[in-house]
Amino acid sequence: MSSTDQISAKIIAVANQKGGVGKTTTTINLGAALAEHGQNVLLIDLDPQGNASTGLGVTPDRRAITTYDFLVGDASPSEAIQPTSVTNLSIIPATTDLSSADIELISNEKRSFLLFDALRQLPMDAFAFDYILIDCPPSLNILTVNAMVAAHAVIVPLQSEFFALEGLSQLMLTIREVRQTANKSLRIAGIVLTMYDRRNNLSQQVEADARENLGGLVYTTVIPRNVRLSEAPSYALPALVYDSNSAGSQAYRELALEVMAKDNIQLKRVS
What does the binding site for Mg ion look like in residue numbers (CB under 5 A)?
Answer: 23-24, 51
The number of beta carbons lying within 10 Å of the beta carbon of residue 118 is: 23
| Least distance from Mg ion to the Cβ atom of residue 110, Å | 26
83 touches ligand ATP (CB under 6 A): no
Spatial distance between the Cα atoms of 260 and 257, rounded to a whole number of angstroms: 5
Q: Does 225 bind ligand ATP (CB under 6 A)?
A: yes
- Nearest approach in angstroms of CB 268 to Mg ion is 33
Binding span for ligand ATP by CB under 6 A among 16-24, 36-44, 169-177, 253-261: 16-24
Taking CB under 6 A as the binding criterion, the range among 83-91, 107-115, 210-218, 225-233 that sits at the site for ligand ATP is 225-233
Packing angle, helices 142-150 and 168-181, rounded to 10: 60
Choose the contact partner of 168 out of Mg ion, ligand ATP, none; CB within 5 to 8 A by kind.
none
Considering the complex, what minimum distance in angstroms separates the CB of residue 84 from ligand ATP? Answer: 17
* Partner whose footprint covers residue 20, from ligand ATP, Mg ion, none (CB < 5 to 8 Å by kind): ligand ATP
Binding-site size for ligand ATP (CB under 6 A) equals: 19
Query: Is residue 112 close enough to count as binding ligand ATP by CB under 6 A?
Result: no
Q: Which does 25 bind (CB under 5 to 8 A by kind): Mg ion, ligand ATP, none?
A: ligand ATP
Interaction mask 189-208, ligand ATP, x per CB under 6 A: -----xx-------------
Where does residue 214 rank: exposed (0-12), middle (13-18), buried (19+ CB within 10 A)?
middle
Contact 71, 115 (CB under 8 A): yes
Q: Rg of the Cα trace of the chain?
A: 17
Distances (CA, A) of 72 to 111, 139, 152, 197, 254: 9, 20, 21, 42, 36
Only one of the segments 19-27, 63-71, 83-91, 99-107 lies at the binding site for ligand ATP (rule: CB under 6 A); that segment is 19-27
Distance CA 192, CA 154 (A): 11
Give contact residues for ligand ATP (rule: CB under 6 A): 19-25, 47, 49, 51, 138, 194-195, 223, 225-226, 229-230, 248
